[in-house]
């Protein structure tokens, strides 16, 4: 399946980078891993506008004294056609928590809540508007070069847990969207 081949290759590249760069990050001068204590960061996804495409995330990370970061921002899909559904767009508030483990390794738990819109369903010809809630859990590693950092999250799962107005997917209105694999590469800057 086309989707699986791309997902597997993205996962493979992220894991290879993680394995190759981790020893370098631990020893190199001027190179750090993990958060910058007391800083506020601004992050954006480098991967999602390309794959799966048309998905953008902008968020802030705020360091807390408990060993984690509060994550807050916006996530949105620009209008685009989905073969099995119709023309889809969304805008959501993005709230979460990043727990730092060790050596730059972290786990992010996030909830996205907002409006999803589907136009011209291929099954009903109707437009749908829905309030959606999505949960996402990712794990990754964050190399840091001074105030510039990346968050490489090759492991993740996401699922829509609530949809106020479900629309047909593959012709089935009652079908629930199951959890999906999620990976991401974020670029950030600490202020």
pTM for the full predicted model: 0.80
Is the bond preceding residue 52 a cis peptide, omega within 30 degrees? yes
Residue 115 main-chain phi, psi, to 5 deg? -95, 130
How many secondary structure helices (H) and strands (E) does the chain include?
1, 11
pLDDT of the chain, 191 residues: tens digit per residue: 333 344 555 555 555 555 555 444 443 335 678 777 888 999 999 999 998 899 999 999 999 988 899 999 999 999 999 888 889 999 999 999 999 998 889 999 999 999 999 999 888 889 999 999 999 999 999 999 888 999 999 999 999 999 999 888 776 765 667 899 999 999 999 99
| pLDDT given at position 100 | 92
Percent of the chain with pLDDT over 90: 60
The structural domains of the chain, ordered by start, are 2-190 (2.40.160.20)
């Amino acid at each position: 399946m086309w989707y699986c081949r791309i997902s597997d290759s993205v996962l493979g590249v992220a894991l290879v980078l993680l394995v190759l760069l981790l020893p370098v990050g631990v020893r190199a001068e001027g190179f750090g891993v993990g958060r910058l204590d007391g800083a506020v960061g601004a992050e954006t996804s480098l991967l999602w506008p390309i794959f799966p495409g048309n998905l953008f995330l902008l968020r802030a990370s705020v360091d807390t004294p408990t060993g984690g970061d509060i994550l807050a921002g916006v996530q949105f899909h620009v209008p685009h056609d989905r073969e099995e559904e119709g023309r889809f767009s969304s805008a959501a508030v993005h709230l979460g928590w990043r727990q730092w483990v060790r050596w730059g390794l972290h786990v992010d738990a996030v909830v996205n809540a907002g409006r999803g819109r589907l136009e011209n369903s291929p099954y009903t010809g109707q437009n749908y508007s829905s309030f959606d809630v999505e949960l996402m859990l990712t794990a990754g590693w964050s190399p840091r070069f001074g105030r510039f950092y990346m968050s490489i999250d090759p492991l993740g799962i996401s699922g829509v847990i609530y949809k106020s107005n479900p629309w047909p997917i593959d012709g089935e209105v009652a079908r629930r969207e199951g959890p999906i694999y999620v990976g991401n590469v974020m670029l950030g800057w600490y202020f």
